[in-house]
Structure formats: structure tokens, C-alpha cells
Amino acid sequence: MGKTIRSMSSCLVPAIAVALLLAGGCKNGAESPGGGNKPSRVVGTDWEKTILDEDVFGAQGEDVVITDVCEGGPGLAAVGFRAPRQETASSGKEEPKDPSAMLIWTSEDGRSWNRTEVAIDTGLSRTIGPHIAAGPGGMVIAWGLSFWTSGDGLDWTYHPPDNVNFKIELTYENAMHPDHIRDICAAGPGYVMMGKGAYGRKYALVGHDVCEWVSSDGQAFSLLPFDSETFGGFAEINSVCAGGPGAVAVGIKSQKLRTEGQVWTSPDGISWYRLPSNESVFGGPGEHIISDICTGGPGLVAVGYSKSTFDQKIEEEAIVWTSSDGVDWTRSPSIPALRSSYIFKVSSGGPGLVAIGSSPPDQINFPSGKIIHHKAAVWVSPDGAAWNRVMLPDCGDLDNRIDLFSLSGKDEFSYFSITTFRGGLLAIGNEKTGSEGPTRPAIWTSMP
């Protein structure tokens, strides 16, 4: 039986808009110099940063991280966590502390927010945080191997993992042992959850591979049998969406110290086909990671990034792939708007498509050893082929703590999400408050 969690907080964030300077010289959302009506805004290009109440988005002595957002519940629902501040070890590396609570925020308008705090089991990771999705049976949050469900985004029921569908006990006897859930979406029979696990064969674990759960109602999920040909071979799925022949998933596969993008397609969210390796489209020198996918453009648009070292320099570049059917893919050419950047999420909206990630403001290549202070950015496109970059206003430093050799690339400064809302867009990210300050969420809106 699940346990219902009631909304406990009624703190509201004041609706304070931040005035920012447009390239044309007018303030975003302010009166024109002549004192006339407010100028029209371009959704996806003109953004405002919401000033967030520390009572709702803070925690004394702890980091607060927002990880995902979607349209649903009373209007919008977001999820994240609070965790003790990371400490610097004697080696100089920062050691993350396990989260101490899950946080759920809801809003009717994207400006005023309520917060609910949910107790969690120990051992949940801050590097693979909670995901949230809305579907035909309501809203679902997945984190680790646990999930929570809600019909309205306000009252949540906890579903602990069980040994039938989540195989907590390691037997090592020809069975998939899930480790965590990576993404969830409304697709297939109702909902599809993709995760990462280890396949056991006679007293040993063999590789880290993909595992999948499906649900018709968002209340009970069943683990599907592991197909090593489709999901084996050190593969990871980062995102799944309804589209193409039915559903499409994207991620990576690692082999011989190389990492390249990988795509899977399905007619029903249950039976999957893995596309053959195509280095000219999904690979190349260094690591190539597909981080997200959505419908849009010619049919489907996937985003990600490459990371490599060349001549003692770290080279990073955002990448976009497009497809009409989920099977045949085209890779975007290298253009200035995508260089020295990471793209983590993409959504239909604005002029057609909007992606979000991080980028240095001046977009130049830095010599090895120099700190690159990335800031939050969005990229807009009418068709998935041509892209323009827009730096989000008033963003604190992201500290460039994305590990060059981390396949998932995850820390609190790479948690971004973007969703459509009332004809506009809402984007979330995280920033450091001062050089030694805690991590706090950031929210931007782009409304007509």
C-alpha cells in the first residue's frame, strides 16, 4: 500500500518581475521610453527571472536543488531536494552529501509557489535526482527505485520499491537488478519509466544496462524482462518521449573507452529496437551524449553535447539531431551558437523549439586549467535546424562543475528543465549564491 502525503506548506513567493535590458534598448516588460503600452514579448527570446522567497526555495545550512518541472496539477509542478552543503575533502574534490528530503513545488501562475516537503529513505542520490511527469492517470515522481503519484499535484502517495518489480535483493542469477530510474513519460500503455541497472550472471554482475517499467494507470509499474540484445552492452537511456513509430528513447553506449549517442524506437513502449551504431551521426572523438528528446521540427528533435580534449584544451559543443520518423537522423553542423556549450533539455514551444543548458557568456575556447564560469542559456529554433542562443538574465555562476569524464555529466549545475505553460515557457535551473554560498533554484519565465 502506498502512503499519502499531504501538502504541508502554504508559503507564497511574491510575484516580483526582474527588469532586464533588451538588445533594442527597452526594458523587458516595462513601458517604452515614450510611456506607451508595454512592448510585445517574443516567447522563447524575452525572459524574466523570478525572485524566489527563501522560505519556499531555501533551507538553513543546506543546498536546495530543483531538478524537474512539468505542466500539471494546479498549473505547474516541480520537484527537487534539499541536502547538506557539499564539503571539500583533503584531496580538493567536493564530496556530495546525501539528500535529506524531497521537495515538491506547485504554482498556478509560475510566480507564486507552494512547497511540500517529503521524507525519503536514505541512500538516494543527488547526482540522479527526482523526475516528474504528467500522464493520463495523473502525475508521477520517480527517484531511485521509489515513486510517488498524485491526481492533483498537491496530495501525493508514496510507493516503496518491491522485490518483484524492483528486485532489491541481489541474486546474480540471470536477472536484471535495477539501480535507479532515469526518466519517465506518458507513452506506450500509459507510462514508461526507463532506468539503469546491472545484469547478474552466476555470482557476478555483468555490465550496467537499461531496464524498463510500464504502467497503464501510473499507480502500479511492472518491470519488463531484460533484453540484452536491445538494452545490454553498457548502455544508458537519458530520456524517452512519445513520438516516431510510438515511442523513442535516447542515451549513450560505451565501448572501448569511447562513448557515443544511442537511439531506440518502439511501436508500443514495450517492444524496442536499437538503432545500429552510426559514428558519423552519433559519435566522433571524445564523448558524445544525447541528453533529451521531444517532438517538434521535422518530427523529433534530440539534444546533447560532446566533450573532448585537444592540444591541452577542453573542447565542448552542444549538438542537435533531427529526424522525421525516429529512425533516420541528421546531425546539426557546428555553428558558433552551439560551441563551448552544453544542452541538457529541449521542448516544443516559443518559435517552434526551445532548448536549455549552460554556456560561457562570451563563448570562447579556454586554455586547459582555466575555470570556465558557465551561465544558464536557452537556444531557440523555428525548425530544429537553425538555432540562436539567448543568455538567461541575472544568472549566477554555475561553477563549471560538470565532470569532463562523467558519462552522466550530472551535478546540481546541470539540472535544467523547460516546459510550456499558458502559451509561454517556464525554465528552471540552479545557481550558486556567491563564491561560498549555498546552491539555490532559479526560475525564468517567457510569456506572451
Q: What is the pLDDT of residue 31?
A: 32
**Which residues, other chains included, contact 108 with Cβ-Cβ below 8 Å and sequence gap of 6+?**
74, 75, 76
Predicted TM-score (pTM) of the model is 0.85
Is 257:179 a contact under the CB 8 Å cutoff? no
For residues 383 and 381, what is the distance between their CA atoms, to the nearest angstrom?
Answer: 6
What digits encode the pLDDT tens for the residues 94-153? 666 889 999 999 999 999 999 999 999 877 888 889 999 999 999 999 999 999 999 999
Is 236:230 a contact under the CB 8 Å cutoff? no
Mean pLDDT of the chain: 82
Q: What is the largest CA-CA distance in the chain?
A: 77
Q: What is the pLDDT of residue 122?
A: 79
Q: Is the model's pLDDT at 420 over the cut of 70?
A: yes
What digits encode the pLDDT tens for the residues 154-205? 999 999 887 657 765 555 555 667 888 999 999 999 999 999 887 665 545 5
More confident residue, 286 or 189: 189
Given its phi and psi angles, is residue 439 left (phi above 0), alpha (psi -120 to 50 degrees) or beta?
beta
Q: Is the dihedral of CA 129, 135, 139, 144 positive or negative?
A: negative
Of the listed ranges 136-150, 216-230, 385-399, the least confidently predicted one is 385-399
Q: Is the model's pLDDT at 24 over the cut of 60?
A: no
More confident residue, 255 or 428: 428
- Alpha helices (runs of H) in 43-112, residue ranges in sequence order: 54-57
Phi, psi of 361, deg, nearest 5: -55, -35
Of the listed ranges 247-256, 292-301, 348-357, the least confidently predicted one is 247-256
DSSP code string of 422-441? TTEEEEEEEEESSSSPPEEE
% residues pLDDT > 90 (the chain) = 57
Q: What is the pLDDT of residue 22?
A: 24
Grid cell for residue 59: 533551507
Q: What is the pLDDT of residue 41?
A: 84
Q: What is the pLDDT of residue 117?
A: 96
Q: Is the dihedral of CA 339, 343, 348, 351 positive or negative?
A: negative
